[in-house]
Each structure stands twice: as structure tokens, then as C-alpha cells.
Structure 1
Amino acid sequence: MGKQRITKIIFRQLRCFIQEAKPTPDLSILSKSLFWDTDINRIDWQRQCRAVIQRVFERGNENDKKEITRYYGVEKINKRWKSLRPDVHNTP
């Protein structure tokens, strides 16, 4: 393998590691009214991901949805959303 390919692989792995290390989404992007009933600083973003994803995709704006998708990743969003809304995803 060439140096350029190895460098790309390392940067890709580093980017994934940094994203996983972030303890919360960027709270400055999320609408304050979205989590009006809870202290947003006390949310366990990993344990409560289903509730967070549901709330954001049912009540959030496009910026909220983009930030949560960036934070959790498309694969996790799709998996959780399908489990929350089987009626929507099982229709032809």
C-alpha cells in the first residue's frame, strides 16, 4: 500500500474515533424547546437514544435532525426509527 492510502485509512479511523468520543451532540444546534421538560445536560445520550431520536424526528426542525443524524450516524438512526415506527416501514 502507498503512503497516501495508509494516510486516508488512518484519518478515516481517527474521524470515527473522534465522533464516538463525543459525549453529546452539539447542544448549541439543538432547539431549546425540543427538550423543554428535562435538563438537557443530564440526558444520557447513549442509553436514551431511542427517546431522543423519536423526539427529534417527530418534533424537531431540519437542523435538529441533521445534528442528531451526525451524532448517532445514519445506520443507528435508521435502525432505531424503524423499531419505533414499524407501521411506516412495513407498508408497500
Structure 2
Amino acid sequence: MDQSVAFVAEVSDYLDQMIPTATDDELFAAGYLRGHFDLAVGTLQVAAEPFAKPELLAQVNVSLSQAIDQGELSEQDQQLVQSLWQQLQQLPA
């Protein structure tokens, strides 16, 4: 399994495993971040070019920055999403 596929699977598994024990705020952050993550994966897959973890991270960062700049998240929600995103970026794979 190549690194990008393994990382996508790790992120998905991590977010899925949060569901039974997460608070409402954590579930919101996980769902919101999953949307941006899945959009980035889809965008890179549509390009039909192989991509690595750094390209995926960059794509998600751009997507999150645009959303924050457009005022989609309150300050508290920004902190929750950014904190979870930092955790996800540290996952192996």
C-alpha cells in the first residue's frame, strides 16, 4: 500500500474511532475536518496523478484556510478543528 493510501486509511480510521467517545464539539470538528479531507483526496484523485502525503496535507491546509477566511468557523470551532488537524498530521503512514 503506498504512503498516501495508507495515510488516507489511517485518518479515516482515526476519525471513525472517535465516534463512540467524542464530545459533541469533537464530533463537529471531526465531521467538518473529514469533509475538507475527503474533498482534498477527491480533488487529487480527479487529477489522476499519483500524490504523496505532503500534497494531501497542503491541499487540506488550503481548503481549511479558505473556509476560515470566509468566516465558516467561530474562533472556538477553528481551535477545535486546527487541534484535531494537527493530531491527524502526526499519524504514521
TM-score normalised to structure 1 length: 0.28
Structure with higher helix content: 2
**Structure number with bigger Rg:** 1
Structure possessing the higher relative contact order (Cα contacts under 8 Å, 6 or more residues apart): 2
TM-score (norm 2): 0.28
